[in-house]
Chains A and B, each alone.
Chain A
Amino acid sequence: MEKFLLRNTENPNSADIEEYIKTGGYKNISKAFELQPSDIIEEVKKSGLRGRGGAGFPTFMKWSFASADKKFPKYLICNADEGEPGTFKDRPILEKNPHLLIEGMIISGYALKAEYGYIYLRGEYPYAYDVMNQAVRDAYDKGYLGDNILGKNIKFNLVVHLGAGAYICGEETALLDSLEGRRGLPRNKPPFPVNAGAWGMPTIVNNVETLANIPHIIEIGADAYSKIGFPDCPGPKLYCVSGHVEKPGVFELPMGISLREIIYDYAGGTKNGKKLKAVFPGGISAPVLPADSIDCAMDFVSLPKAGSMLGSAAVMVMDETVCMVKIAHRAMKFFERESCGKCTPCREGTEWLRKILERIENGRGRNEDISLLTDISNNIFGKSFCALGDGAAGVMKSILKHFRAEFEEHIKEKRCRFKQKD
């Protein structure tokens, strides 16, 4: 497939504005400015674009709700807080194709009548921060950003805002609190950000990859775009593959390609040809799939049917040398640490899960521990304030479901047999 999101990124100067313009960059702005803002929203609707941040919410719906709100100013926020463990798909856009994101934001800002944009970038990406800031400065110098873009009296100002290491700030309402200079706690909904987001005004929060798709929709038109990949959620998709594979990396492929193809045809198969054991198909919050379930399509519609979710399309591959109790323990340690502490099921539940998993892994598990893990997971799932708790519980339950025997063995044998192989 011809690359769009990662176009020209093998060129070491791809982040340079001149290089971007030379390869056709920024020409979609002029094309978009010929259209009415409402026409662009209609085009995005027809394209079938779904948000690439994890939830897969139809982009045009967010856009329509925000457009319908009469309050001004409106804000367009790019969620570049790529914190989901296993995820590094937005990084190549931010570091190697920053002007594609800026072009996407200018077009989106015009469509949404949002004159102010912020890129909320995670603090863990200092290099991307430098690249993005330089790109924004260059875009201002060339007249693509500012109060009178291309002399057309269209205004869009853009600021890169650096986060400071909090996973929860990838949740859009927590992101807004953080942007406003507070602790990043998720907000109660409604009101939704599209009506009362940043500083109480209508706000559209879209993921980096989502916004980077907008120029492509303008370039080739919604009809052609909607024919790429899986019909129910079309378009090019960035899949990032890590763990026990020969060739880890970020692959731009049509949405809906199978997990097996991603692992074996693109990522080179398992490392040293070892036996595949399990896969997180969409980051650490996506329920784990066992090796015999990798013939599923990797899109927002198919994965839930297979018992998981696409999430951030972060494929973490684990081979037979991995202990699933240990994986569950590391995952819960993460959720415990990153729980913002606002709601009890998540704050307390993730800590309990981690503690129980720790004793099972260390050979001190009790017979009742497996039912306890299930019970706690059930009391987190659907009862926590935001998706963080659901993610933790879902992953815990999936590992128990597919690898229960491993937990039983740890408890019975009072040891982890994988440890000796280290």
Chain B
Amino acid sequence: MLKEIEDIKAKYPDTRAALLPALYIAQKEFGWLSLDAMKAVANALNLPESDVRGTASFYSMFRLKPAGRNLIQLCTNISCMILGAERLRDLLKDRYGLLPGGTTEDGRFSLVIMECIGACGTAPAMLVNTDLYENLTEHNIAEILGKYK
């Protein structure tokens, strides 16, 4: 992880600019940004820990609590909403016991409600980890999620 952060620093005129990339690296390594993970980033970039936490907490894609093995990011903004995204959100609650911001008991899925993932022409849409799924229906969503253990 430290080697990776060092490589990234070279891409910017100032060390601090490596903070977002470094947080991504730490999040990948630890699964989420624990206080220890953020401390490691702070040390690598010689920044105050408070500053790193303050920055990380601003961005919705940095996870400040443990996440499940698979992260569902479901869009519910207008184009997705009018084409049924709320029914999908309800389905995740009814079938998997999954609430926005929550994680299933078995740790298999976490759910985050997104503000537009740029798939409006193929709405409703979601990301599972980094895989994009479009034209979701109540039928195909279960099949898609079945691929993730």
Contacts and interface: CB of A to CB of B under 8 A. Distances in A.
Contact of B59 (A91, A165, A241, A249): A165
A98 to B, nearest CB: 16
Given A199-B13, A242-B120, A318-B82, A166 B58 contact: yes
A240 B122 CA distance: 11
Given A85-B79, A243-B83, A330-B77, A124 B114 contact: yes
Interface in A243-300: 243-244, 248-250, 280, 284
Nearest to A245: B121
Interface residue range, chain B: 35 or more
Contacts of A122: 118
A87 B116 contact: yes
Given A163-B20, A241-B121, A250-B121, A180 B14 contact: yes
B130 to A, nearest CB: 4
B13 A86 contact: no
Interface residue range, chain A: 35 or more
B17 A242 contact: no
Given A85-B78, A165-B60, A314 B19 contact: no
Interface in B23-61: 23-24, 54-55, 58-61
Nearest to B22: A181
Residue among A182, A184, A249 with max Cβ neighbours from chain B (10 Å): A182
A316 B82 CA distance: 10
A127 B118 contact: no
A181 B118 contact: no
B55 A183 contact: yes
A164 B24 CA distance: 9
Interface of A: 73, 82-88, 91, 116, 122-127, 159, 161-167, 178-184, 199, 240-244, 248-250, 280, 284, 314, 316, 318, 322, 327, 330-331, 334, 337-338, 340
A340 B59 CA distance: 10
A222 B13 CA distance: 35
Nearest to A73: B13
A86 B59 contact: no
B115 A85 contact: yes
B132 interface: yes
Contact of A338 (B76, B115, B121): B115
A85 B20 contact: no
B132 A284 contact: no
Contacts of A314: 120
Given A182-B16, A199-B13, 20 more contacts: A82-B118, A84-B116, A85-B120, A87-B116, A87-B120, A124-B117, A127-B132, A166-B60, A167-B115, A180-B17, A181-B16, A182-B55, A242-B120, A242-B121, A327-B78, A330-B76, A330-B77, A330-B78, A334-B77, A338-B115
